[in-house]
Amino acid sequence: MRLRDWRPVCPAGELRSISLHWTAHDYEAVFPVYHFCLRGVSDVVVVQTHDLRANMRDLRRDPASPYAAHTLGRNSWSIGLAVCGMADARPSDFGRYPLAAAQIDALCVVARTLADAYHIPLAAIRTHAEAALEDGYFGADDDDLRWDIARLEPRPEPLADREATATGDRLRARIAAVR
């Protein structure tokens, strides 16, 4: 559903955090490891790919039941949002499917809407890069370590830990400003 028409179904239950991602594919491919994928570049479409209720639990107790497995070890009571894009991206070159301003705007609107619905504080909205940094697998090398979303624009400088945190802070400020 187009963002302007999107009204999420928010089933009763507890959700405590939101993780922000990109899919590392083209602008159209959606994946059920997230709850919502934001498809398209300018007229963004919100696609629900997984039921929120599946993550409304301690997944360590029953990991065999289906759930949205978007952030290693951090999926219990957590919503996964992903912008479609960033296939073959590197920190210095976002490739043929770079992040677009409308996608980031949409990500902030969707995150704010879900945070409000589930009373999730801004501090509990984090990028996958921030989680990877905290858990020791942050980076961008041939081993496909996670750096989504550590940078909003490509730059030649190597990624730095502080950049991932600063980008998360920028996104949280934009989410806070959504009305």
Number of Cβ atoms within 10 Å of the Cβ of 56: 20
All domains in the chain, ordered by first residue: 13-177 (3.40.80)
pLDDT given at position 72 = 79
DSSP string of 120-134, one letter each residue: --GGGEEEHHHHHHH
pLDDT given at position 65 = 87
Count how many Cα atoms sit within 13 Å of the Cα of residue 43 in the half-sphere of its side chain.
3
pLDDT given at position 62 = 84
pLDDT in tens, the chain (179 residues): 899 999 999 999 999 999 999 999 999 999 989 999 999 998 999 999 999 999 999 998 988 888 998 887 889 999 999 999 999 999 999 999 999 999 999 999 999 999 999 999 999 999 999 999 998 888 755 445 579 999 999 999 988 999 999 999 999 999 999 98
pLDDT given at position 71 = 85
* DSSP 8-state secondary structure symbol assigned to residue 103: H
Structure tokens at 168: 């998360």
Q: Helix H segments across the chain?
A: 101-118, 128-135, 161-177
Instruction: Report the b/e string of 106-139 with b at 16+ CB within 10 A.
Output: bbbbbbbbbbeebebebebbbbbbbbbbeeeebb
